[in-house]
Amino acid sequence: MPALRERKELRFASGDTTCAAWHYPGTNGGCVIMAGGTAVTKEPASDLFARRFNDAGFAVLAFDHRRFGGSGGAPRQVVRFAEQRADWQAAIECAAKLPDVDPGKIALWGFSLAGGHIFQVAADSPGLACAIAQTPLVDGPAVAPHALRSMTLPALLRLFGRAVADAIGALLGRPPLLVPTAGRRGDVASLTTADAMDGDRALDPDHRHVGWEQTVAARIALKIGGYRPGRHASRIRCPLLVVVCDQDRSALPGPAVKAARNAPNSEVLHLAGRHYAPFLEAHEQAVEAEIAFLVKHL
């Protein structure tokens, strides 16, 4: 994997701290900014796709959101949607200053929660060349009922009890109360859909990412159901590729397809498989389509 040997660590300012990133130098002036969903750090989120994008000539800037991975910010493992979108904007500014990047040839790539962020960030960034949202979470109210049905009642009550205690503790300055990002039905975890546990074998099959903490502050359970970044689709002016998996039981394909229809210059790629299929059995189909999209628009 030569691209991984050539990547360089860097940091860029975002808010009152800095975000950790990998920069893969490119050869064609284009740059793909990448980040993962919920608590997924930059290596498991991007390594598989970043190598292929870089081999195609594109620079890559893969980063950790604030409070996660190598980035700064405290308390840790806390998802704040507005902060994370601000991190994307800071990453765009950073990429535009890289010596191998043409500021007019910047693309965004995110999956799951980060794929949802893409909709609002792209809408707020008219200078982008294009964007890719892979299995994005675009409509919390549409997805939440299915996520709740995937939980047992005792686990649901315990999760929401912990979420409320976490939110109150935050007001009092206490450390976050953490839960696993994924679990099996009956577990007290952020997500227990049928494909939630595919993440390990999809993102870290060789168990190389020993520092990846797969937990999140429980308060996310009180917020995720109201998050609707897909409502910004009509304001996106750059070309948008939305990748959906037809058996996705975590983000669900329907809301993403509906949001894509509202974007003026969008296309939808349907893949067979569940939420993490683009990292597993559908990887070649996904990465080839995404590279073709990047070549066309960058």
16-56 confidence digits (pLDDT tens): 999 999 999 999 999 999 999 999 999 999 999 999 999 99
- Tens of pLDDT along 164-222? 999 999 999 999 999 999 999 999 999 999 999 999 999 999 999 989 999 999 999 99
Strands 59-63 and 106-112, by their bridges, are unpaired
Please give the average per-residue pLDDT across 240-267, as a whole number.
98
- Going by pLDDT thresholds of 50, 70 and 90, the confidence category of residue 1 is very low
Task: Report the distance separating Cα 147 and Cα 194, nearest Å.
Answer: 9
Please give the average per-residue pLDDT across 213-237, as a whole number.
97
What pLDDT does residue 5 have? 52
Q: Give the number of other Cβ atoms within 10 Å of residue 209's Cβ.
A: 18
- Tens of pLDDT along 110-160? 999 999 999 999 999 999 999 999 999 999 999 999 999 999 999 999 999
Task: Report the distance separating Cα 96 and Cα 99, nearest Å.
Answer: 8
What pLDDT does residue 221 have? 96
**pTM for the whole structure:** 0.96
Contact criterion met (CB below 8 Å) for 142 and 119: no
What pLDDT does residue 6 have? 86
Residue 147's closest CA among 132, 160, 166, 134? Answer: 160
Does residue 3 surpass a pLDDT of 70? no
Provide, rounded to the nearest whole percent, the portion of the chain with pLDDT above 90: 97
Q: How far is the CA of 252 from the CAs of 8, 140, 141, 143, 193, in angstroms?
A: 35, 10, 12, 7, 11
Task: Report the distance separating Cα 114 and Cα 35, nearest Å.
Answer: 6
Q: How far is the CA of 280 from the CAs of 11, 37, 50, 86, 287, in angstroms?
A: 30, 17, 15, 30, 11
Task: Find where tokens 């806390």 sit.
Answer: 78
What pLDDT does residue 2 have? 42
Strands 31-35 and 106-112, by their bridges, are parallel
Amino acid of residue 90: A
Please give the average per-residue pLDDT across 217-228, as a whole number.
97
Does residue 4 surpass a pLDDT of 70? no
Task: Report the distance separating Cα 13 and Cα 76, nearest Å.
Answer: 17
Amino acid of residue 40: V
Does residue 78 surpass a pLDDT of 90? yes
Task: Report the distance separating Cα 289 and Cα 270, nearest Å.
Answer: 11
